[in-house]
Chains A and B, each alone.
Chain A
């Protein structure tokens, strides 16, 4: 069966279906209307539903973390920790200092891993053209690399020659693998050939760096993906924690990775910012006006929001002069355009239920844009759409002058003679992720130092004992930051059993379909106005969608579960 032509002419508009969107986690479809070479309307649709929520019903709360972890094999630590923290809130306990620090250290390796893999394996080919790299001059490439870094990573002329040879042989072999059907030579690529070569050479280097980062997670996490050392009340890797050799392994790998972040990743972002300056303008690939961050990496044992390493706050209408505190009571989810039954109006996650109502596609295979069209729900904060992720965190940190985030962003902006408002763009979102990687790298050093200091005092505790509640607990929430953005797990427990479970994940915010008022989600809003000169190669759309780091496995796999409602779980097609 051949895929049929995906662009449909209707009047003066063309309708384009892009499915599957590759280089993401999970299954995503994007549809857009294009008029006069620009996107005028868009729909984001999650195309897989796994129904993990009813599966959690009645499980032992100690097993729930391992199960929800399987929502996503990429941010493999995030759901595990967010679940564990929400269980700890419900049980009224907090883990000891050592466990908090080890968790932060594991999470730091997760963030760096996720951001680097995202940028290189999943996103860099939207910015760098393999076709260009083949034509590059290795001598000029080395010179160009030195313009953007004093000590550029792996930038010798010989190395660049080797990379070109490798690519040429690869292309000549006729079996192109992942580069098959690549948009070679597309006019929307703006790097010089030498720039393409630099980024693609780092694409290959990053394949090894991500192995080191996974090893870092395994030191205290047991393995990667899907680490297994986190338990309600603390961590289990006490033997590794007390072994100085383990700390040495962690810090030496941290330095190896730091070299790459500093001299490859940040330098490549400067290169891209420089050559894509036409796109580094307010609104290019960013339609969001509101930005949300819950705050991540607790720095105190009671997890106070204001002392988290990643900041907490809400920004409305792109107004960077005010930051509002977050109150989870204002979170609602609407299913007006999602394949679930429910009232038009959004509900608080503690009060929702999830009954699938699949209404199918139009006869021509397109989504029913006016009706229900996605397995993703539409979360809103105070009824407004929000963007979450590294850009939101950086802007909240900038606006609230959190730690040194403002100075960090100012340095980048000064280098490119840019105004902070230019950050509301695809380039800005991509740069924010890189800056955050360096920020987390500094954080990891701090937690290592804190751990050494705490152990030196003779504190070896890694776990807090707890009792199971006889009565059902209130809905308990841990607000958490995953690499892709704000993540909240809502849980109720009775005895050892889970009686209610609900997750609102980062990609649900960003990939959200329209809500009952017709407000688009962040992906949809951000595509409006983007140029699509060639319907065959919608590069600009992919560049913007990828800049969010979509994780559709998360977005569509978890909604909620309520006791006794499993029986109602009936699907009507």
Chain B
């Protein structure tokens, strides 16, 4: 039973990490209806930039992070200007494919500028069991995972405040509700999209730092996007809490399935199990757990 809880907690904590990536998807989809496949590449790019800045110019982590943040924000605005603005009003599949093109570009660009080796990223948070829990309950809970969860929680709270309490947040929600109506009351659509991409870039930076220090900064980081997709369809494309809850469900069931179901079918089921799980959820609720109800009119 103790082992079960240990696996469960590990799963929940890794689910938080998935949620972090899914959050970037949700932000962009919510505000512009673009399914941004490049989020994974953005995570990779942000992490690689931070590490390489330290390496090449010998600056400390705490200077490299703000610089990367500026880079990501610039990237967000540039994407809006170069890629999205000419494609306004296009079919959503066209926009989706454009973001796949963006993925290729970003992956090539990041490795061209910074090199393609595997780098370690040290945030100064040890990946060791928390002594208090180990002593009292005998369970291994990583300090790093808990810190990541806390950071994720803070980020979500900050985003909630941004969305609900600020002027920019109101504009974002208005645009998400109805582009045209937002335009008619004078909200600068393109400006808002730029901001959303910049915020998504910032979320990608946080996700990149956490994922990077956990598994090394390498090309494989781009695949965390694929981990985040089932979270996204489970939680609903348009819901920030959905991303968190979805992440927790996916993380926990994935780890439990791997441990308890995996041995019977030969292991390695982590790759597809989340998708099948999300699919089963979707059959019951086609818009995900917290997505906006799909109403179809003729």
A binds B: no
A residues sitting closer than 8 Å to B (CB atoms) are: none
